[in-house]
Amino acid sequence: MPTMTPSEPIMTLEEAAEYLRISKAHLSNVINGKVPGVRPPRVFRAGRRILIRREWLDRWIEDGHLEATSEW
């Protein structure tokens, strides 16, 4: 897996998934609107590449779009 430094403001899909501690496939499904009840985070595309600003992910988490569950 790639190693991120805290100063990197823009992340690839793989880096963002690592940051969120979810799989790249699941993040891709969230971004493409395939996960019911979860609003996709803001992203931008450079050709076929999906890039995400760290601040957008942080705001997305704070807004509650990545919700914790209490089912253990």
pLDDT at 52: 97
pLDDT at 64: 81
pLDDT at 70: 44
Q: Which residues of the chain have pLDDT under 50?
A: 70-72
pTM score of the predicted model:
0.78
Phi-psi region of 31 (alpha: psi -120 to 50; beta: other; left: phi over 0): alpha
List C-alpha distances in Å: 15 to 6, 30, 59.
Answer: 12, 15, 17
User: What are the residue ranges spanned by the domains of the chain?
Assistant: 10-62
